[in-house]
Amino acid sequence: MGKYGMNSIDNIAAVSSATGGAIAVIRVSGKSAFDICLKVWKKKGIVSADDADAGKMLLGHCVFGETIPPEKAYAVFFKSPKSYTGENMIEIHSHGGNSVVSRILCSLIGNGARQAEPGEFTYRAFMNGKLDLSQAEAVADVITAKTELSLNMAERQLEGGIAERIGAIEEELFSVLSECEANLDFAEEHHIKAAGADQIKDALNNVIKKTESILKTAKGGIILRDGIKIVIAGHPNSGKSSLFNLLAGRDRAIVTEIAGTTRDTVEEDVRIGRISARLVDTAGIREADDIIEKLGIERSKKSIDSADIILWLLDPAASHEEQIQEMLKHLRKKENTVAVWNKSDLLSKAEIEKLPDTGVMRIIISVKKNEGVGKLLDAIEDIAWGEERDREPEIAINLR
C-alpha cells in the first residue's frame, strides 16, 4: 500500500512533539495499538481499552522492568474511527527529557510497534478518509510555517478551506452537466423545463470566475510556503555586504573598504514584513584576474539568474553609466529588480537629484546611516506580492 506498506496489523509509534520541550507526546496507531500501549503504560483498574474513558487524560505510569523506576505519564485513548488516523490510537504524555522519551518509545517498539516513517500518521489519516489531500499537505505547512501569515494560511487549509471552495465548483459543474443531459435526453418532452443555452453559459462563466479567483492565490501560496530568494548584486565596494548584514540583523558577511572582499556567495534566512526570504550576498561584478574571485563572480551570476528579487547596488562614486549598463546586461527581466543607490550620506541634495535614471525601480539609501532602508523593504514586498500586497489571501493553493 504505497510508500509505507500499510496493512491492518501494522502498528506504528513515534514522538509527535518537538525536541526539548518540558512535555513530550508519543503516539501509537494501529489495530493493536491499545494492547501494545497497555504493556508499557499502567494504571490501576485499566486492563483493556474498554476500561478507559476515550478522549480523557488518565494519569498512570510507564514501566520498564524491575530494575528501572516507573515514569509518571498521562495516556489518552482514541478509539477507531474517532482518532486522527482513523485507527485505534493512543497518546502518551510524559516528561520531555530525551532519555525518558527514548525509553518509552523503545519499550513500545519492543512490544510490537515499529518506528513510524516521517509523515506516516498523516498518510494514514488521508488513506482512512480523515483528511483530504489538501488538508494532508496543510499539516506539513503548519509544521514548516516561518511567518504568522503562512501559519494562518496553513491552518485555514487544514480546516478545509480549499476543499470547500473546489467542492462548490464541482457541484455547480454537476448541475450544468445535468441540465445539458436533460436537454439532450428529453428534448421532445415539452413538460420538462431544462435550462436554456444562455443560463448554461452564465453558469459556466460563473464557474470560470470562481476558478480564476482561486488560481490568483497561487503566487501567494508559493511565497508563503517557500519564501523568496533575494540576491544582492552590483559593483564591488558598493556596500552589498553592509546591506546584507543590516537586513540579516547581524555581521554575517565580512565588510572592508577593499574591493573584492566577498569571494563567494553568503546566504542567510531573514524575514521581511510578512515574507520569509533567503538573502544572498554576492561577489562584486567586475573583470577579475584572480581565479578565486572569478569563480565567485560566476556563482554570483548564477544566483542573479535564479533570484526572485534582485537588489542591485550602485556606487555614486564610480562611473554611473558603466554600472547601469553592467546591471542591465545581467538582468533577465527588469520588473523584479531594484536599483539601489547607496552611500547617500556622502552626497549633497543636488548630487542626489542628479543621480541618473536606471531603467528599473530606483531607491536611494544610506546603509551606514540606515536611511531609506524602510522604502527598500516596502519595494521588496511590492514586487513579491504585486496586487495582493495589502490583502491577506483567504486561501493559498500550491502547484499541485
The tens digit of pLDDT for each residue in 14-48 reads 999 888 789 999 999 999 999 999 999 999 989 88
Give the C-alpha separation, 142 to 102, whole Å: 25
| 340 DSSP β-pair partners | 313, 363
The DSSP element (H or E) to which 75 belongs, if any, is: strand 71-78
Pairing of strands 23-29, 12-15: antiparallel
**At 175, which amino acid appears?**
S
Residue stretches of the chain with pLDDT short of 50: 1-2, 6-8, 253-263
Give the pLDDT confidence of 337-372 residue by residue, as tens digits: 999 999 999 989 899 888 988 888 999 999 889 999
Give the C-alpha separation, 146 to 347, whole Å: 39
Contact present, 259 and 313 (Cβ < 8 Å): no
pLDDT at res. 226: 75
| 77 DSSP β-pair partners | 90
pLDDT at res. 215: 81
Give the pLDDT confidence of 156-198 residue by residue, as tens digits: 777 777 778 888 899 999 988 988 888 777 766 655 566 678 8
φ, ψ of residue 271 to 5 degrees: the values are -120, 125
CB contact set of 370 (below 8 Å; sequence gap of 6+): 246
Give the C-alpha separation, 264 to 282, whole Å: 6
| Angle value at C-alpha 213, between 210 and 214, nearest 5 degrees | 95
Nearest Cα neighbor of 274 from 369, 146, 123 is 146
Give the C-alpha separation, 38 to 58, whole Å: 12
pLDDT at res. 37: 95
DSSP secondary structure, 132-191, as one string: -HHHHHHHHHHHH--SHHHHHHHHHHHTTHHHHHHHHHHHHHHHHHHHHHHHHHTTT-TT
Contact present, 370 and 261 (Cβ < 8 Å): no
pLDDT at res. 119: 86
Nearest Cα neighbor of 71 from 31, 42, 32 is 42
φ, ψ of residue 251 to 5 degrees: the values are -80, 85
Give the C-alpha separation, 181 to 176, whole Å: 9
Give the C-alpha separation, 395 to 381, whole Å: 19
For 364, how many CA atoms within 13 A lie in the half-sphere containing its CB?
A: 15
Q: Within the chain, how many helices (H) and strands (E) appear?
A: 13, 13
Contact present, 338 and 375 (Cβ < 8 Å): no
SS3 of residue 262 by DSSP: coil
Neighbours of 265 (CB within 10 A): 17
C-alpha cell at 204: 459556466
